[in-house]
Structure 1
């Protein structure tokens, strides 16, 4: 047997986001076994003990690979880093008798309709919603719930397939587009519920995410992030941590979190919950049994609080208690934010002008280019993720200063397009 190992399911897409996960494992004395469809081209091999290429959408294949790895290594934990891997990771942890998200809870949180159904008797926490497959069902949902509304696949990830609709004409277009889009032939994430959509009331108010952990039934909220999205596809374009919400609103958000986590049955995992706050109403958008993306947990939380977030995720995976603010860690001392640079048109990406000037803006920590030279960039609804060209991360002593520095850095970045 080797040193104790933790099985990682895939990694975040970009090295700036995934390197902190590998380094956290190294700091805690664990070796990493990477179960992945395809390892990153820039993967530093010295931080990974073994890479197993497996179809991680296929739970049976995952269990076979995991069993083989367990014969060769001392696996003490299993961690998913993305939505798509929550259920396979829970299945493997269950098979190996390791701590992890209970499999029924993992399945509920991976399907937006099942998640809302589990909370149906707490309707005050939710937008009104309906399951939709056919045009007749979509029209009936609109007649019952009204406009504006949001139509999206039940099992998507990363804002894939989100449409805001304000009329029957827009709904008909969105339904036709999504009925073709939400299919396994387009993306394997839709294999568990092809063509299955959810129509839900559009929620007014400010949008937020909540990062935290659940350990032995105890919900630990690390903090709340303020989020900005862009209509009509609700792409997440900016995050600032910690929130500027008042103490009363924060208390009510935390109460929502505790109730949702309890009802959904999450335990021994990190969570990322999204909600909207409209004066006295706090309502759920969704909850996931994994860390927050968009550099929130890799950079914003650590920059603002010094919270060892990824170390705590790994502690949870092996059944240990996370180190929390109650032990003297994590009190926010700074604000940190990220803004994405979104393509304004389609074309072949040719790089950026102004990166050095953006990095020279006070408080800017990183500028990461997220497309490769020569990539064919498409816009939603043709591509929901490839339109993100870069991201800027900055920190300062106030949310307003963070916003100003992100704006200043973003203005210096000019994408170039190949002929």
Structure 2
């Protein structure tokens, strides 16, 4: 009999990945909640989402064997909360909060790996003098204690930047603060963060170096790493541009990062879940610092894993959620290198043309391996989009593979030229 796997917010891209690995035919996937209820929303009512999800699960003929999710908040919280309700393998909620609450996460990391944690301060954006709580020198980063994809995250170079960032944060922080506070109410919080809810921010030291991310899973306390990625920012902007696999780090550096990650995960009590952990790595000084722990697979890594290793990370996600020990392939794919690239613009305007099916088919004739997700529609004003970082607008995500980095970048440039988005900046 097929095992029943409830998937929270499945879309076309992830549906393909859920069926793109050996053994996927043994699973019967059930979609729970719509993507439109979980992404790009004005507000998120966590109580309503929990209730609706449980009603859908209860309407199934039989109880599920696993519940999985791969989106950022609120899905990172909904997934273990729902799995707990049905007594299924899940990430313990106290470990979840140590990942999702950025300030608590830093406090806990500081106990475990003090020399790998940037300086940080808690900031109440609604205090009459919020800057008084900041002891870090410029530049530093300011962001809510619950946010993702660099939303409401600002690099602060001076007091003017700080004041301007707080004006934006005060206006928009409720979008994630309210649903996150629902989650915090479900957990016995440590005294160190009592009263520090989703309406607070964290200021963090700006770190040197390049970014790298390790991904893996924990099953019954056993930690395994399945790959390391370069997380590259745009050359001229503070925004992510690509996730490239395998990482351009030597094995000693990767081993040191994995050793540090193992120490954190064990001390957090992290179990029965996938993860990806982001770091800054300073090649000049051969040193690194932790940025954050994401309690989920990275969708950005899924297609590169498939292209290089032969399976998307959805494989390990499903197997862990079923209480099984995953077996993930290594270098069994069709390409030596692969990446997810962001097609971004940095000025506001109205989208007047997006690539249509004929355009995409023409590109695929040149690059049969291309996967693409278009994030905008014609007629949309970029500044009105949700879930953008503070410095750019995301138009598309493009996934490509190649035999080497030069060929990969050549394919990227050709693909971007052919996409031919059109934006009217005068409207």
Match of 1:248 in 2: 252
Q: CA RMSD in A?
A: 3.3
| Matching residue within 33, 37, 42 for 1:36 | 33
The 1:286/1:186 distance shift into structure 2, 3 A limit, reads: closer
Match of 1:401 in 2: 407
The 1:26/1:351 distance shift into structure 2, 3 A limit, reads: farther
| Matching residue within 341, 348, 351 for 2:350 | 348
Match of 2:222 in 1: 218
Are residues 1:68 and 2:58 paired? Answer: yes
The 1:178/1:191 distance shift into structure 2, 3 A limit, reads: farther
Q: Distance in 2 between matches of 1:58 and 1:148?
A: 40
Judge which range, 302-311 or 375-384, deviates more: 375-384
Contact 1:337 1:403 in 2 (8 A): no
Q: Distance in 1 between matches of 2:259 and 2:110?
A: 17
Match of 2:119 in 1: 128
Q: Measure how far apart 1:160 and its partner are.
A: 1.2
Contact 1:227 1:236 in 2 (8 A): yes
Question: What does residue range 206-285 of structure 1 map to in structure 2 within 5 Å?
Answer: 206-230=210-234, 234-279=238-283, 280-285=286-291
Q: Distance in 1 between matches of 2:178 and 2:308?
A: 36
| Matching residue within 360, 374, 377 for 2:382 | 377
The 1:82/1:362 distance shift into structure 2, 3 A limit, reads: closer
> As a proportion of its length, which structure holds more strand?
1
Q: Measure how far apart 1:291 and its partner are.
A: 0.8
Structure 1: 5+ residue stretches without partners: 41-53
Q: Distance in 2 between matches of 1:403 and 1:190?
A: 43
Q: Distance in 1 between matches of 2:144 and 2:364?
A: 38
Q: Measure how far apart 1:39 and its partner are.
A: 5.8
The 1:127/1:232 distance shift into structure 2, 3 A limit, reads: farther
Contact 2:350 2:380 in 1 (8 A): yes
2:280 is paired with a residue whose SS is strand
Contact 2:120 2:204 in 1 (8 A): yes
Q: Measure how far apart 1:357 and its partner are.
A: 6.2
TM-score when scaled to structure 1?
0.83
The 1:304/1:32 distance shift into structure 2, 3 A limit, reads: same
Judge which range, 362-371 or 342-351, deviates more: 362-371
Contact 1:266 1:289 in 2 (8 A): no
Q: Measure how far apart 1:374 and its partner are.
A: 2.5
Q: Measure how far apart 1:397 and its partner are.
A: 1.8
Contact 2:339 2:400 in 1 (8 A): yes
Q: Measure how far apart 1:225 and its partner are.
A: 0.8
Contact 1:358 1:410 in 2 (8 A): no
Are residues 1:195 and 2:199 paired? Answer: yes
